[in-house]
Chains A and B, each alone.
Chain A
Amino acid sequence: MDVVIENQKLKPRLSPFYKIALFCFFFLTYSCEPKKIEIQPAFYHWQTNLSLSELEKKYLSDLSIQKIYPKFFDVDWDFNRQEATALATMSLSTNLPETLEIIPTVFITNRTLVEISTGQITNLAHKIAQKLQGQMTAFPDQAIKEIQFDCDWTQSTQAKYFDLLAIFNKTFNPLGIELSATIRLHQIKYAQKTGIPPVNRGMLMYYNMGEVQKRTTINSILDNAIGAKYLDKLAAYPLPLDVALPLFQWGVLFRQDKMIKLLNQLTAQDLSDDQRFTKIDKNHWEVIKSTYLNGVYLYKNDRIRLEKVETLALKTATALLQKQLKKADRSIVFYHLDSMVIQQFEIAELKEIIQQFERNTK
């Protein structure tokens, strides 16, 4: 109240010049005040059945996760029918808390875009949109504010993919739903060639950055030395960016020096039987007796490179990203919510990563 009286008193004494000066002072003072930047932690959910285990629920709760990105389905090319097909449709068998935001995610293989004709794009867009809308009815308690499309598009498939996204924009934006698209590191570095997708936000996927097929690769999931090379143009990227970080691990199977397949979520424990496997070095094992391992038949002399993400590497990644990212609100999304995956990390370790993002952006 006193202040008001004082101001009233001041009023007649102020000349126009002082008024302007005062206005500028307050304006500048207000605009210079650092804006609080919000980091929203989240998880991808990549399983075909959305059913949360107790451990998964605990991670969501302890990390104050308020949104998840469940993959609703894949879109791949059916070479027999010569048409795009929906695969791995997610089913829901759990009740999600109302407060948990859902961001439906659709993975579209690049080969679908390679094979499909430009004339079929509109039809495909309608099919995807219809399927998405059908699946979204399974979440009556959640307000859907964003839909994400995941595709490792290239220069040659850019036009078709962007046409697809443009149609989704027309379909979903009027419903108040924003679109986001995943952005690979090479799409940041060579943005001029690969283009900027017509979406509201991008999700920088800071993983799968090494050449997994190469025998000499150390860790294709997360290698900050490689990642750093792609980040110099990050600040100039025109879309607001969220960041996806990896938590998963896998074994890369080599037979006669050729990469054969990935053994998902393989651990050192799986390779501990010295009657069948021998450890060559820190992350390489050799099969010494032909054997089955998690449903895959391995031959004597096969080699396995175990690739996992260390907490320290995640911290380094965070620091690298912080240096280059624009200061803005964003989500930090861990890939992915699966007991087998998350149990490799302490909740405190993940909290630290989130806090590291928060610290540096304030």
Chain B
Amino acid sequence: MKEIRNDFRQLVTMGIGLSCFFILLALPTKISKGCGPYVDKTFYGYSFLNPNIIDLDAPKAPYFAGFEKIYKRLKPTEDIQQKDNLTEWNERFCQVAKLIDLQFIIYKASLTQMRRLKKLIGQKNSQLTGQLAGNTFARHLHRNKCEEAVDYLIFAKRCEPHVIAGSSWNPTQRDTVAMQFLIKDGLKEFKKTKSHYFKLRYAYQLIRLAHYKRDYVQTLALYDNLLPKTDNNPSLIEDWIEGHKAGALMGLGRNVEAAYLYSRIFQNTPSKRATAYQSFTIKSDEEWAACLRLCQTDEERATLYALRANDPNSLAVEDMEAIYHINPKNEHLEFLLVREIQKLEKDLLGADFNKNKKNNWRYHQIPRKQVGKSLLDLLKLVLLVGEENKVATPALWQIAEGYLELLGGDYYAAKNTLGHLKGGITDEILAEQLEALIMVANIDGLEKINPEMEDLIVSYERTTLFTKYPDFGKFVKDKLAYLYHEQGFEGKAFLEEHTLKELRYNPQLGLIEELIAICQKEKRSRLEDEMVLKSDGVTTIESDLWDLKGTYYLGQMQLESALEAYRQMPRKDRADYGLFNPFREMPIDCVNCRIIDTAGYNKTIILEQILELEYKAKADMEKAPAYYYQIGNALYNMTYFGYEWEVADYFRSGSSWYGLKSGEAVFATRGAPFGNHETVNCSLPLYYYDKAFRLSKNAELGARAAFMAAKCQQNQFFTSKGSDYSFYDNQIPYVTAEYRQYFNILKDYYTETAFYEEVVEECLYFERYAARN
């Protein structure tokens, strides 16, 4: 017996020591600071336009996605330029060589290799060696003695070092003297060359050299001098030359001519389109008018408007109207139409129920304030197009009309317009787009939700369109959540927006009861089945909900209600929600000290034992103090401060310590829609410790009960609003008189007990408190 007592004394001593150590040292360093509010700043919205309704591979595709996105999708410009160039070489040489061999000779072969090839061409019965021997293009040049081609390639390779950009960290220093010498040599070669195709290529090399050495006057002079002397079939080289001319014009301040040239390059040369777009600049109304005057065709004029409209912040309808009046079949119109609808989609589609609408406005100013006007302006144009029927793809504009009506909130008109088109569209992609938009209109147009509607939604979810258009998932969930909220079905709304797991942070009684009722329904809708059935398709989440309900009551220290909830749970499931033993006397406030060497009980048994202890205490006055002390321990250990906090909570955050003095029990936590509830209220354990202490005739038990009661009071002090105790700086808590009653009792009445001695010896703050008073 004595040994047991000694063991107990040892445990208590160790416990108090650790407790004090924890409070004084470990607590401030162990607990991390709060993670802070998490804000997702990315735009959140929905889009149902299938990019394939316009030809994304069409030359002007950047309109649709914007250049930034298209760069990611397409290969870099240099690659396109190289590919185009190789294709042209291949065509000129009647496709006698493999593309890879052409690429080697044009882009990789060294100057020495080319000079050797030239030498071998001049020798009788010569044989190609090394890499050239196996190269189909080199063999062709050698066999046919294509000296002009090889001479040109030699010259081009001499020019190459002078026109490479180098890296941004170490840009190439231009050797303008050497470049000028090359221009002189090139002019001689130009004169000597008979082939107009190679003449044109020489002209390109010379004009490029002059441009890169920033001699813009010489660039234009070479252009004017050399180009009239070439008489070749159309070549992409001409467009490349135009680019250098435009650059030179810009360098000389002839902005209008430059802009006009850039617009033509944009229109005609895919490999130079992006740079032409970036270089196209108009500074004033006068320049714009002058640039329009330079245009020789309607196509060119339309391209100018399209370039202006392509700015991401443009109000494009104004320019679309201009393009339409110039040429209704102009391809830019459709790209711009789709882009404008995409913008309006971001503004308007699901704006009522978009769950991120506050941040969309705050971080993106979406929806735009005057979006209604933008919608009407575009709709006006679409209606005009519909009346006149002059565009290239009337069906696209008709679908656009219905979709704009939908975005404007006129579901009746939208369904009508889109419905009329059904069956009349032959284009497969457009027909599918129409189907998708009809579905969007049906979902967006829902005003109420009932079991039939729920079944309809499930039938939509099972269509291929639903998975093909990835935004349907979130669109439906957000719409349903909105409608459920409107109609007071908070449980269903919660499950549309969150997972059941997220309810664990702070269980909400109303939601839980609503969901339990759905689980217990005899006939559920298909959507309700989706909500409450587990993956086996048979079991519902009902037991999870009973556990949530029981845990909610435990968190409120409402033991009878908690037990009632747990008793509703089938016995076979009760052990699935954890086994615990909160009854151990554990003066250590160590939340991670799980007791693993004792038997665990499910929550139902724990609650039944507590109630039984209370019954026994009432029946046996002599043992009552010990029973009450046990109840106090069980309850204390279930709180935020105890080692078995998981009985009454699912998630405990160390950072909540820093918010305790707010007097609140719920703390903002990422991923917790209702915040995170902590069981910080120690009133009930205090009540039982108080009873134990008052009824106890054993001084040692009385001392222990008083000490635990003092701890409860200290926690109450920590959690009282305005408590000035700071966890940041290891300060010894100065508990105010209001929360010091049990410390006083311990000091005034139990100084003679062994327990008291241990407290004073082991617990620094109590020692200081005792000395202070």
In the assembled complex, the Cα of A78 lies from the Cα of B167 at a distance in Å of 12
Q: Which of B340-375 contact A (CB under 8 A)?
A: 365, 368-371, 374
Given A80-B71, A260-B313: A131 and B368 interface contact (C-beta under 8 Å)? no
B281 CB contacts on chain A under 8 angstroms: 295
A89 CB contacts on chain B under 8 angstroms: 168, 171
B693 to chain A, nearest CB (A): 45
B169 within 8 A of A: yes
Contact with B along A284-299 (1 / 0, CB 8 A): 0000001111110101
A130 CB contacts on chain B under 8 angstroms: 169-170
Q: Which of A180-223 contact B (CB under 8 A)?
A: 213
Evaluate contact between A255 and B315: CB separation under 8 angstroms: yes
A127 CB contacts on chain B under 8 angstroms: 169
Binds A, one of B283-291, B490-498, B508-516, B522-530: B283-291
B726 CB contacts on chain A under 8 angstroms: none
B170 CB contacts on chain A under 8 angstroms: 130-131, 134
In the assembled complex, the Cα of A127 lies from the Cα of B168 at a distance in Å of 10
Q: Which of B283, B314, B369 contacts A294 (CB 8 A)?
A: B283
B169 CB contacts on chain A under 8 angstroms: 85-86, 127, 130-131
Evaluate contact between A257 and B365: CB separation under 8 angstroms: yes
A89 to chain B, nearest CB (A): 7
Most-contacted residue by chain B among A130, A258, A294 (CB, 10 A):
A258
Evaluate contact between B76 and A80: CB separation under 8 angstroms: yes
A256 within 8 A of B: yes
B80 to chain A, nearest CB (A): 14
B471 CB contacts on chain A under 8 angstroms: none
Evaluate contact between A258 and B368: CB separation under 8 angstroms: yes
B281 to chain A, nearest CB (A): 6
Given A127-B169, A299-B318: A257 and B283 interface contact (C-beta under 8 Å)? no
Evaluate contact between A297 and B314: CB separation under 8 angstroms: yes
Q: Which residue of A lies closest to B363 (CB)?
A: A213
A266 to chain B, nearest CB (A): 14
A225 within 8 A of B: no
In the assembled complex, the Cα of A87 lies from the Cα of B167 at a distance in Å of 11
Q: Which residue of A lies closest to B347 (CB)?
A: A256
Evaluate contact between B369 and A257: CB separation under 8 angstroms: yes
Evaluate contact between A297 and B284: CB separation under 8 angstroms: no
B231 within 8 A of A: no
Given A255-B313, A257-B365, A260-B313: A297 and B282 interface contact (C-beta under 8 Å)? yes
Evaluate contact between B285 and A292: CB separation under 8 angstroms: yes
Q: Which of A233-286 contact B (CB under 8 A)?
A: 255-261
Q: Which of B282, B285, B287, B371 contacts A256 (CB 8 A)?
A: B371
In the assembled complex, the Cα of A294 lies from the Cα of B168 at a distance in Å of 28
Evaluate contact between B365 and A258: CB separation under 8 angstroms: yes
B315 CB contacts on chain A under 8 angstroms: 255, 299
B365 CB contacts on chain A under 8 angstroms: 213, 257-259
B308 CB contacts on chain A under 8 angstroms: 297
- Interface size on A, as a range, is 20 to 34
Q: Which residue of A lies closest to B318 (CB)?
A: A290
B287 CB contacts on chain A under 8 angstroms: 292
Contact with A along B293-320 (1 / 0, CB 8 A): 0000000000000001001011100100
Q: Which residue of B lies closest to A295 (CB)?
A: B283
- Interface size on B, as a range, is 20 to 34
Evaluate contact between B168 and A86: CB separation under 8 angstroms: yes
A79 CB contacts on chain B under 8 angstroms: 68
In the assembled complex, the Cα of A255 lies from the Cα of B368 at a distance in Å of 9
Q: Which of B741-772 contact A (CB under 8 A)?
A: none
Given A257-B365, A297-B314: A292 and B171 interface contact (C-beta under 8 Å)? no
In the assembled complex, the Cα of A292 lies from the Cα of B369 at a distance in Å of 23
Evaluate contact between A297 and B311: CB separation under 8 angstroms: yes
Q: Which of A60-96 contact B (CB under 8 A)?
A: 78-80, 85-87, 89
B436 to chain A, nearest CB (A): 28
A293 CB contacts on chain B under 8 angstroms: 284
Q: Which of B69-115 contact A (CB under 8 A)?
A: 71-72, 76
Q: Which residue of A lies closest to B282 (CB)?
A: A292
Evaluate contact between B284 and A292: CB separation under 8 angstroms: yes
In the assembled complex, the Cα of A318 lies from the Cα of B607 at a distance in Å of 70
In the assembled complex, the Cα of A85 lies from the Cα of B281 at a distance in Å of 24
Evaluate contact between B368 and A257: CB separation under 8 angstroms: yes
A292 CB contacts on chain B under 8 angstroms: 282-285, 287-288
Evaluate contact between A291 and B285: CB separation under 8 angstroms: yes
A131 CB contacts on chain B under 8 angstroms: 169-170
B322 to chain A, nearest CB (A): 11
In the assembled complex, the Cα of A291 lies from the Cα of B76 at a distance in Å of 34
In the assembled complex, the Cα of A13 lies from the Cα of B370 at a distance in Å of 94
In the assembled complex, the Cα of A242 lies from the Cα of B355 at a distance in Å of 46
Q: Which residue of B lies closest to A88 (CB)?
A: B168
In the assembled complex, the Cα of A293 lies from the Cα of B283 at a distance in Å of 7
Q: Which residue of B lies closest to A302 (CB)?
A: B315
Contact with A along B249-268 (1 / 0, CB 8 A): 00000000000000000000
A260 CB contacts on chain B under 8 angstroms: 313
Q: Which of A256, A257, A259, A294 contacts B374 (CB 8 A)?
A: A256
Q: Which of B156-197 contact A (CB under 8 A)?
A: 168-171
Q: Which residue of A lies closest to B283 (CB)?
A: A295
In the assembled complex, the Cα of A85 lies from the Cα of B313 at a distance in Å of 26
In the assembled complex, the Cα of A265 lies from the Cα of B169 at a distance in Å of 30
In the assembled complex, the Cα of A19 lies from the Cα of B682 at a distance in Å of 71
A256 CB contacts on chain B under 8 angstroms: 368-371, 374
Q: Which of B71, B72, B168, B283 contacts A87 (CB 8 A)?
A: B168
A297 CB contacts on chain B under 8 angstroms: 282, 308, 311, 314
B687 to chain A, nearest CB (A): 43
B369 CB contacts on chain A under 8 angstroms: 256-258
A255 CB contacts on chain B under 8 angstroms: 313, 315
In the assembled complex, the Cα of A240 lies from the Cα of B282 at a distance in Å of 46
B313 CB contacts on chain A under 8 angstroms: 255, 260-261
In the assembled complex, the Cα of A255 lies from the Cα of B365 at a distance in Å of 11
B66 to chain A, nearest CB (A): 13
A139 to chain B, nearest CB (A): 17
In the assembled complex, the Cα of A259 lies from the Cα of B170 at a distance in Å of 36
A80 CB contacts on chain B under 8 angstroms: 71-72, 76
B26 to chain A, nearest CB (A): 24
B431 to chain A, nearest CB (A): 34
Q: Which of B120-173 contact A (CB under 8 A)?
A: 168-171
B285 to chain A, nearest CB (A): 5
A295 CB contacts on chain B under 8 angstroms: 281-283
In the assembled complex, the Cα of A259 lies from the Cα of B369 at a distance in Å of 12
In the assembled complex, the Cα of A297 lies from the Cα of B318 at a distance in Å of 12
Provide 8 A-B residue pairs closer than 8 Å at the C-beta atoms, listed in order of the A residue: A213-B365, A255-B313, A256-B370, A294-B283, A295-B282, A297-B311, A299-B314, A301-B370
The 5 lowest CB-CB distance pairs between A and B, nearest first, are A257-B369, A258-B365, A256-B368, A86-B168, A256-B370
A residues adjacent to B (C-beta < 8 A): 78-80, 85-87, 89, 127, 130-131, 134, 213, 255-261, 290-295, 297, 299, 301
Q: A127-B169, A295-B281, A299-B315 are in contact. List 5 more A-B contacts (CB 8 A).
A: A130-B170, A255-B313, A256-B370, A292-B284, A292-B285
